[in-house]
A and B are shown apart, each in its own frame.
Chain A
Amino acid sequence: MNMSELKNAILDYVKKEYLEEDDDREVGFDTPLISGGIVDSFSMVSLKRFLETKYKIQIPDAKATPEAFDSVNNIIALLRDFNIQ
């Protein structure tokens, strides 16, 4: 999977998981997800699970911070630590 496909796969998941059908907010690679109120702290666990399952990795709690999950681009940076790029 190239970088563009990776980013789009995560973005698609975020839209499907966190936006309601009638939610017309624009979400892009740099959109703040947690600080922007799209993903709350409880719902972040789904995102972590999704990444762990899809890329067969274990993200330690210390790395699963709200900042690390705050945008698709931040998540990509986090995944680089696991040699996923």
Chain B
Amino acid sequence: MAFNKGTRDIYKSELESIRSAGIFKEERIICAPQNAEIDVEFPAGAERKHVINMCANNYLGLSSHPDVVEAARKGLDARGYGMSSVRFICGTQDIHKELEAKLTQFLGTEDTILFPSCMDANAGVFEAILNEQDVMISDRLVHASIVDGMRLCKAQQDTFKHSDMGHLEEKLQLHASARVKLIITDGSFSMDGDLAKLDQIVALAEKYNALVFVDDSHASGFIGKTGRGTHEHCGVVGKIDIITTTLGKALGGASGGCVSGRSELVEMCRQKARPYLFSNTIPPVVVSGANAVLDIIAKTTERRDKLERNTAFWRKGLTEAGLIIKEGETPIVPVMLFNAKLSQDFARELYQEGIYAVGFFFPVVPKGQARIRTQLSAAHDPHHLDKALAAFTKVGAKFGILHKSKQEIIDRFGM
């Protein structure tokens, strides 16, 4: 047996070092549909607890929406369970084409191609459209899936300081001779909840003849007046050359992603993107649910409007309670605690109060910037947020950090 004691010990030791570094991830078991209120078993085997969920990417509250569930059920009957094929052999149904057309319409682009996930979209897109004559210039805080996709691509790589337009311009000048220059950014940055300055990025792209890539996974469906995304918020719909996004967050939350943008670039992905060519696409049941999601959000902005109200209430409430949050306007609201242990202790106390939120610390966020990332949902009603706010206030008071400055918190708990 190749997996002998010696081999096993290698992995045991590696896992032990992850544990001792305090970064061992454990799954919380949710014993209910995804929603504002859930039943959680944590740690595994513990008694189930009914809690308010403040950490899902269920921004529009559509993950368990009855119309979406019903559409998925009907899709299962009408188009079956699986395709047993990649797209270009016999894995494309009419509903896949329907979903691609709806996404194109919603995002205001020229064409769209589905991927099994946005992770796959980001893994496949760069290699499909760029070669060694080109350069990718990315914001330094882009999502890990973009970093992985860039690693798979032969084009030159460079970065600019987070949202620093002066630095981006220097890089565009530095790489002026490249065949294609691609500026790469997240639309909404998932850890800080801030938005890319897409209007300025587009202006620089026009000035230096560059293309713009945006991963709008934490924006599609709710950022912008009608929820189209960060490009709508910044007034540059139609000017983003490539948008990748996910169906695994606001847009139903099941799974799947896409590349949407200039028709030639999308076609290049159909011809060359390996996660598209060598894996099944999204299953019919999920496609059917996603089609219903696109119908719901095309019909009314009611849910993104409610999310906006919830976000404003939550940001104001936390600030007035004396907690430090990252300023912004998105439903990603980090409560800054700075110290890693404090972020874990704070989350544990919140859980005891019936609030489920997770503490993040290095290496997920920079050292000294530990926080609890809260995320709002249109599924939250006022009573959920009232209770959550009371819990944050109570726990904040218990740790003595209300109305304290960053320095005072660091002085007391360390970095």
Contact = CB atoms under 8 A, between A and B. Distances in A.
Contact of A46 (B147, B150, B158): B158
B168 to A, nearest CB: 12
Interface stretch (A27-35, A37-45, A66-74, A76-84): A37-45
A40 B139 CA distance: 12
B161 A42 contact: no
A54 to B, nearest CB: 12
B174 A43 contact: no
A42 B158 contact: yes
B-side binding surface: helix, strand, loop or mixed? mixed
A20 interface: yes
A42 B157 contact: yes
Nearest to A24: B368
Given A20-B161, A20-B162, A49-B174, A43 B156 contact: no
A46 B161 CA distance: 12
B415 to A, nearest CB: 11
Interface residues of B, number: 12
Residue in B138, B147, B161 with the greatest tally of chain A CB atoms within 10 Å: B161
A40 B161 contact: no
Nearest to A42: B157
Nearest to B363: A37
B140 interface: yes
Contacts of A45: 156-158
Interface in B150-188: 150, 156-159, 161-162, 171, 174
A40 B157 CA distance: 11
A45 B171 CA distance: 11
A40 B146 CA distance: 14
Contacts of B159: 40, 42-43, 46
Contacts of B140: 40, 43
Interface string A5-43: 000000000000000100000000000000000001011
A42 B147 contact: yes
Given A40-B140, A43-B140, A43-B158, 13 more contacts: A20-B162, A42-B138, A42-B147, A42-B150, A42-B157, A42-B158, A43-B159, A45-B156, A45-B157, A45-B158, A46-B159, A46-B171, A49-B174
Interface of A: 20, 40, 42-43, 45-46, 49
Minimum-distance CB pairs A-B, first 9: A42-B157, A43-B159, A42-B159, A45-B158, A46-B158, A45-B157, A49-B174, A20-B161, A45-B156
22 contacts: A20-B161, A20-B162, A40-B140, A40-B159, A42-B138, A42-B147, A42-B150, A42-B157, A42-B158, A42-B159, A43-B140, A43-B158, A43-B159, A45-B156, A45-B157, A45-B158, A46-B158, A46-B159, A46-B171, A46-B174, A49-B158, A49-B174
